[in-house]
Amino acid sequence: MRFDYHTHSTYSDGSFLWSMARAAEEAGFEGIGFADHCNVSPDSKQEGRKKAMGFNLDTTYDRRREGIDLVRDRFDIRVFDAVEMDYEPEDEAAIREFLDSAGFDYAIGSVHYLDDVNVHIQPYFERKPEAERRELVAQYFDKLVALAESELFDVAAHPDLFERTPALRGLATREQYERAAEAFADSRTVPEVNAGRALREYGEFHPNPTFLDVLAEYGVELTAGTDSHDPADVGPRKTALEETLAERGLEVVELDL
């Protein structure tokens, strides 16, 4: 695994560009991609959320680009100027327009919300009866398939993100995995193996082993990303990813950059 395509800097909820680049170099990566969170939805709720969280890459990407250039001068690894876009099917036109004008090295697309709530918010989902939670997981797969079919992105982030939330875990069906795998097999968008919670309480990568098996059956290629926000996570997550990929006999593909 030569490149870490998924990390975050202080331009969203991560650490300084230089500290992340140094960690990637020390971990033995040949390149690091900064995929800071970005949302261009015209929805007013998303506008408010961006202000509350301080996520504004849609307006600061030029400034970050200058920062990335400085970091490129300082380290002997490649540094990619990327983005992790929130994806909702109704925002496709806004996302397309933004990506066309911003000109990132590559774009990662993410389904982060169900019912307009971030899937990480366990208290919101645990209140719901199981039938409703199953329906929300079905909606997650509808969005994931739409993401693949939109052809907007190079990479699809953490393809089963809801699994890290106990109230939504284990509710996906074989049919849902197959539908997603079929969509990715037909798309330029490559799903990633994401280490974001593999060394934390959840203890699995995204996609989980069952979903990974289905993707392999359909011949879907994968990239990999540590999804590190802290430099201390880069090295251990690289090691964990490489061990898992080797155990499962999986090879990741590199983006054409």
Residues that bind Zn ion (CB under 5 A): 84, 110, 157, 227
* Nearest distance from C-beta of residue 20 to Zn ion, angstroms: 12
Q: Of 120 and 178, which CB lies nearer to Zn ion in the complex structure?
A: 120
* Nearest distance from C-beta of residue 130 to Zn ion, angstroms: 25
Q: Output the CA torsion sign for 3, 145, 243, 219.
A: negative
For residue 188, give the 3-state DSSP assignment: coil
Q: Of 157 and 183, which CB lies nearer to Zn ion in the complex structure?
A: 157
- Cβ proximity of 39 and 111 under 8 Å: no
In DSSP terms, 37 is beta-bridged to: 84
Q: Of 91 and 227, which CB lies nearer to Zn ion in the complex structure?
A: 227
Q: Output the CA torsion sign for 36, 42, 46, 49.
A: positive
Give the number of C-alpha atoms closer than 13 A to the C-alpha of residue 93, restricted to the C-beta side: 2
* Nearest distance from C-beta of residue 108 to Zn ion, angstroms: 7
Q: Of 82 and 219, which CB lies nearer to Zn ion in the complex structure?
A: 82
* Nearest distance from C-beta of residue 244 to Zn ion, angstroms: 18
Q: How far apart are CA 76 and CA 118, in angstroms?
A: 37
Amino acid, single-letter form, for residue 110? S
* Nearest distance from C-beta of residue 120 to Zn ion, angstroms: 9
Q: Output the CA torsion sign for 56, 62, 63, 68.
A: positive
Q: Of 110 and 165, which CB lies nearer to Zn ion in the complex structure?
A: 110
* Nearest distance from C-beta of residue 159 to Zn ion, angstroms: 11
Q: How far apart are CA 206 and CA 186, in angstroms?
A: 20
Q: Is 183 left (phi over 0), alpha (psi -120 to 50) or beta?
A: alpha
- Cβ proximity of 126 and 169 under 8 Å: no
Q: Of 157 and 241, which CB lies nearer to Zn ion in the complex structure?
A: 157
Q: Of 81 and 227, which CB lies nearer to Zn ion in the complex structure?
A: 227
Strands (E), 77-174: 78-86, 106-110, 113-114, 117-118, 155-156
* Nearest distance from C-beta of residue 47 to Zn ion, angstroms: 19
